[in-house]
């Protein structure tokens, strides 16, 4: 195969674009996709301070790398979740990357800062580990952004992540979640603005980007995520994509362009019921926010 841009030997094919790229043109292609996404959704304004949520995995380090290369003022945030060796190793990758770029990495650790870890918290709250982990990360990203004076939180959600979340929400016809699914979640009372600049980049491409640029990342999957529903959705979508390239992208962007506006009102209604959590001040629709409940059940303190 030949590179679509320069006609040199290709090293990566992207079937949904019916294209292949050499290393140089592929990294430019990824940067262009992110730049186009940021511009088209007006994700980040000139001069704004960005906090990128970094797990040590391929998506978040690729995003941080691209945002730095595009010239954004961007720091990283790593959250230690207390998932044994996996957390130790992922933290090392995040710190090594930050050091390699001379970038600032803010760190928060659930065990030392809040007195519990994800395995303990999920057991105590009788929640699936990924559910306890997700709500903890969302709470802590938001808090770190507000406390640190950041204008925008950027996360490494890629095309595959967003298509799989959409798939799950459609299978359940969950209108509240469908109404909230967007590459940009606006800021507001108690909420930092959140953006997903990788929504046009597939996870095979973020992995390739890291390999090409020599960025080390944690390849192993989180041991607590093995066999979860979200991975099952991705495998189902990839089975379709293999015989019909471009399906995932058409599914996600068709939804965002044509269906999301029709269900946005459900998310608006939910926002109207928000009030500050009496324990931590974060917006919640319950008496106490989900993170404070989790921390209390796990014997920690939010």
Point out which residues bind another protein (CB under 8 A).
1, 10-13, 15, 20, 23, 57-59, 130-131, 133-134, 137, 157, 160-161, 165, 203-204, 206-208, 211-212, 219, 221-222, 224-225, 228, 230-231, 234-235, 238-239, 241-242
Which strand ranges, in their side-by-side order, compose the sheet holding 105-109?
Answer: 105-109, 73-80, 49-53, 152-154, 193-195, 184-185
Q: Quick one: 190 or 202, whose CB is closer to another protein?
A: 202
Give the residue with the Cβ less far from another protein, 12 or 192: 12
Q: Which is nearer to another protein, 234 or 297 (CB)?
A: 234
Spatial distance between the Cα atoms of 67 and 161, rounded to a whole number of angstroms: 19
Output the CA torsion 221→110→285→42 (10° steps): -60
Q: Measured from the CB of residue 253, what is the shortest distance to another protein in angstroms?
A: 18
CB of 48 to another protein, least distance (A): 24
Per-residue burial over 135-159, b = 16 or more CB atoms within 10 Å of its CB, e = otherwise: bbbbbbbbbbbbeeebbbbbbbbbb
Nearest residue to 195 via CA among 183, 177, 180: 183
Between residues 50 and 222, which has the closer beta carbon with respect to another protein?
A: 222
- Nearest approach in angstroms of CB 278 to another protein is 26
Residue 136 CB, nearest approach to another protein (Å): 8
- CA dist 83 and 27 (Å) reads 32
Q: Which is nearer to another protein, 48 or 238 (CB)?
A: 238
Q: 137 or 193, CB closer to another protein? A: 137
Interaxial angle between packed helices 159-171 and 203-213, expressed in degrees from 0 to 180 and rounded to the nearest 10:
160
3-state secondary structure of 184: strand
Task: Find out whether 197 and 63 touch, Cβ atoms under 8 Å.
Answer: yes
User: How far is it, in rounded angstroms, from Cα 61 to Cα 213?
Assistant: 11
- CB of 106: closest distance to another protein in angstroms? 19
In whole angstroms, the minimum distance from the beta carbon of 135 to another protein comes to 8
What span, in angstroms and rounded, lies between the C-alpha atoms of 150 and 77?
11
């Amino acid at each position: 195969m030949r590179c679509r841009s320069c006609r040199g030997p290709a090293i990566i094919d992207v079937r949904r674009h019916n294209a292949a790229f050499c290393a140089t043109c592929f990294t430019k292609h990824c940067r262009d996709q992110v730049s186009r996404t940021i511009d088209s959704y007006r994700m980040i304004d000139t001069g704004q301070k960005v906090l990128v949520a970094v797990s040590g995995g391929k998506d978040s380090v690729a995003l941080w790398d691209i945002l730095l290369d595009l010239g954004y003022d961007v720091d990283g945030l790593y959250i230690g979740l207390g998932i044994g060796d996996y957390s130790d190793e992922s933290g090392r990758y995040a710190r090594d990357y930050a050091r390699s770029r001379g970038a600032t990495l803010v760190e928060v650790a659930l065990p030392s800062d809040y007195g519990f870890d994800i395995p303990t918290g999920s057991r105590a709250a009788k929640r699936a580990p990924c559910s306890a982990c997700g709500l903890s990360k969302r709470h802590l990203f938001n808090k770190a952004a507000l406390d640190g004076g950041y204008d925008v939180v950027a996360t490494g959600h890629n095309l595959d992540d967003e298509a799989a979340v959409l798939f799950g929400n459609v299978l359940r016809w969950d209108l509240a979640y469908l109404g909230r699914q967007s590459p940009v979640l606006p800021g507001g009372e108690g909420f930092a603005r959140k953006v997903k600049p990788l929504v046009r980049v597939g996870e095979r491409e973020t992995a390739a980007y890291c390999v090409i640029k020599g960025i080390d990342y944690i390849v192993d999957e989180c041991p607590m995520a093995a066999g979860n529903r979200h991975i099952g959705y991705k495998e189902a979508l990839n089975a379709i994509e293999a015989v019909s390239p471009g399906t995932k992208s058409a599914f996600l962007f068709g939804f965002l362009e044509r269906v999301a506006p029709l269900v946005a009102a459900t998310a608006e209604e939910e926002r109207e019921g928000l009030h500050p959590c009496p324990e931590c001040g974060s917006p919640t629709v319950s008496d106490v926010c989900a993170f404070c409940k989790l921390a209390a059940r796990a014997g920690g303190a939010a």
